[in-house]
Amino acid sequence: MKFIKWTIYFFTGISFIILLFIVLDTFMEGTKLFRYYSIHDFILGEKWHPLKNIVGILPFILSTLYTGFIAVLISLPISVFVSIALVFYVKYNNKLMMTVFRTMTGIPSVIYGLIGFAIIVQGFEKKLNMTSGETIIGGGILLSIMVIPYSLSAIFETIRKLDKKYIEISKSMGVSKEYYICKLILPKSIYGIISGMILSFGRAVGETMAVIMLIGNSKIMPSLFSKGETLSGLIALEMGSAEIESFHYYALSSAGFFLIIILISIGFLFEYFLKRNQVV
């Protein structure tokens, strides 16, 4: 019916317009600061004192990148191994396991934060004898658990499809299961793995609530076992008290803008890497 077609176009159009507005608004609000503050000082500055008009987001960029990379580093191998296990070794109960993993995405981040505080922060204090257990690596560990489902779905689907495609051929050639997995499935699934990596990195970098509960939120240059503050944490903690259209507000908008830039950059970086190696 023509009416249904029209309705679909209408809602697609609205969704597109909303997305366009978000991107445009972020860009416009995010670049207003640079009319009177140098981009160089903003990105490479190490001090964040908005009430004194000194804003540098280098500590936050580093904290965001460190936690994001740690999260992906831990969660990606787990996703790959779990996918292989589910497709090749635990054939029954496939769907149930995936449902369990997908449920992890439904758990509110505050709950993850509370658990992280109780287990990771206090674990570091008691077992590693640290004076305060808030660390970048702790944040990364918690995030890795939260983002497993995101890369798991993508990688699992990829491996399952590849298996369907090649199982008959490899059986007829008589290769062992391990050989089949290592030499055929894994190399061919690299594109799915990269997609999973980008998805989970994006999720890790955007996660706010859980991280601010266990990373200390200190505005210092971070290291693996120090406290830190992510870009998303910075915005969440300070947006409420920044007066609209003040210097502070524009600085925070620009911080958000750079968060998105980081995400897009990582995405493009990997696409470029894939094309260059002609894997696609």
Partner 1 sequence: MKKIMIGLTLLLLMGCGKEFKNDINFTGSSTLAPVINKIGEELSQNKTWDKIKKDLPKKNIELNVTSGGSGLGVKSLIEGTSDFGMVSREVSESEKNKIKDYKEFKLGTDALTISVNPQSPILSLTDDISYEQLRNIFSGNYKYWDDLDSSLEHKEIIVVTRDLSGGAHKVFQKIVMGDEDVKDDVIQAPSMGALTQKIITNKYTIGYVSFGLANQNKGKVVPLKVNGVVPTKENIINGSYNISRPLLLIASGNLSDTETIFLNLATSNNGLKIVENLGFIPGK
Q: Tell me which residues touch partner 1 (CB under 8 A).
A: 3, 47, 49-51, 117, 122, 125, 131-134, 212-213, 216-220, 227, 229, 236-238, 240-244, 248
| Least Å from the CB of residue 175 to partner 1 | 54
Nearer to partner 1, 213 or 260 (CB): 213
Nearer to partner 1, 125 or 157 (CB): 125
| Least Å from the CB of residue 200 to partner 1 | 24
Three-state secondary structure call for residue 223: coil
| DSSP 8-state assignment for residue 52 | G
| Least Å from the CB of residue 122 to partner 1 | 6
| Least Å from the CB of residue 3 to partner 1 | 7
Nearer to partner 1, 154 or 213 (CB): 213
Residue given tokens 């260059």 in the structure block: 276
231 close to 64: Cβ distance less than 8 angstroms: yes
Nearer to partner 1, 59 or 192 (CB): 59
d(CA 248, CA 241) in angstroms, rounded, equals 9
Q: How many CA atoms lie within 13 Å of 10's alpha carbon, on the beta-carbon side?
A: 6
CA angle 267, 253, 65 (to 5 degrees): 40
| Least Å from the CB of residue 208 to partner 1 | 10
Nearer to partner 1, 94 or 122 (CB): 122
d(CA 194, CA 271) in angstroms, rounded, equals 9
